[in-house]
Amino acid sequence: MEQNALPAQDERPTVAELEDRAFELRTKLLQLCGTYEGAVHIGGDLSAADIFTALFHYGLHVDPTDIRNPERDRFLLSKGHAAVCMYIAMAMRGFFSYEGIVETYGQLDSAYGMHPCKVQLPGVEASTGSLGHGLPIAVGMALSARHRGETHRVVCLLGDGETGEGSVWEAAMAANSNRLGNLVAFIDRNRQLMTSFAEERISFEPYPDKWRAFGWNVVEINGHDMGELVGAIDALPGADSDKPTVVICETVKGKGVDFMEHNLAWHAGSLSPKDLERALASLEANREKEMA
């Protein structure tokens, strides 16, 4: 990923360091889930945790001490229900404090709502949560950057289920028509929706071919392999290129916690103290297995 004139990211972490951060992110997420009384969208948070880590700790050219810098990359969370995972990834990058999130998450008037609100939380680029809106907004932002001669990227994370929304494909067409090489979409391809598995409800396949047919560069990776995430980010075409890129990240909903993985019951939920203990133990055991 090319850098624009913003100061270089402090020191870019290694893949191993990013893996550690993703583990910390998942741990903090589960802990928050254990203290918050309401439901958290835990399944789609865990599937996206590695993507958030790779973006906020490696790929995105952003500066937590200068959040309005006009040269920053713009990140939009189109699957807005995964906001809490984004907040924690941002907190770990220095945007705000984790404790602050835990204190007020989900409360009326909190800056940290279940869905992100750009008015309430500086650093959030777009208010999202109604699925299908992030990519259209990202297209407008990328087009506007082009007209102004700006060189940053606009990066948007979508759920695969979300791409059942027609507005996503209108945006995909508009991005191609306007040759928006400064636009990058990451798809969290966890193959689950809210209450069902994706292909049971809607035929997504041949999914990468659909994006190709809409004129996009298509990159397919394992969205839990930090090396592949970093490789995909490093290989992105320059923001001055003329084709938008989609990185389809094959993921597992509930990733890292055995009893949540591929389990429709964990699209959203809350954790009893006992559940939290089990979840943290499973996360730890899986991490040890991966490192062995």
Under the rule (CB under 6 A), what is the footprint of ligand TPP? Answer: 44, 47, 79, 81, 129-132, 159-162, 188, 190, 192-194, 253
Q: Which of 237, 185, 231, 187 is nearest to 207 (CA)?
A: 187
Name the minimum Å distance from CB 65 to ligand TPP.
Answer: 31
Angstrom CA distances, 194 to 111, 142, 162, 266, 280, stand at 25, 30, 10, 9, 24
Closer to ligand TPP by CB, 146 or 253: give it. Answer: 253
* CB contact set of 66 (below 8 Å; sequence gap of 6+): 6, 72
Q: How far is the CB of 10 from ligand TPP (least distance, A)?
A: 30
Nearer to ligand TPP, 16 or 202 (CB): 202
Residue 60 CA: distances (Å) to CA of 148, 236, 263, 264 = 20, 12, 31, 31
Q: Which amino acid is at 49?
A: A
Q: Which is nearer to ligand TPP, 34 or 159 (CB)?
A: 159
- In sequence order, what are the residues at sequence separation of 6 or more whose Cβ sits closer than 8 angstroms to the Cβ of residue 68? 122
The CB-of-151 to ligand TPP minimum distance in angstroms stands at 30
Nearest to 201 by CA among 253, 246, 165, 158: 165
* Residue with smaller CB distance to ligand TPP, 14 or 130: 130
Region of 106 (left: φ > 0; alpha: ψ -120 to 50; beta: rest) is: left
Beta strand pairing call for 154-159 and 245-250 = unpaired
Least distance to ligand TPP from the beta carbon of 216, Å? 18
| DSSP symbol at 165 | S
CB of 237 to ligand TPP, least distance (A): 26
Nearer to ligand TPP, 72 or 189 (CB): 189
- Residue 249 tokens read as 């990240």
Long-range residue pairs from 168-171, CB within 8 A, at least 24 positions apart, any chain: 168/132, 168/135, 168/136, 169/214, 170/136, 171/135, 171/136, 171/138, 171/139
Give 146 or 255: the residue with its C-beta nearer to ligand TPP. Answer: 255
Q: How far is the CB of 224 from ligand TPP (least distance, A)?
A: 14
For residues 39 and 285, which CB has a smaller minimum distance to ligand TPP in the complex? 39
**DSSP 8-state symbol, 197:** B
Of 10, 22, 13, 1, which is closest to residue 224 (Cα–Cα)?
22
Side-chain half-sphere of 16: how many Cα atoms within 13 Å?
Answer: 1
State which residue has the least CB distance to ligand TPP: 159
Residue 158 CB, nearest approach to ligand TPP (Å): 7
Q: How far is the CB of 161 from ligand TPP (least distance, A)?
A: 3
- Our CB check for ligand TPP shows the closer of 47 and 53 to be 47
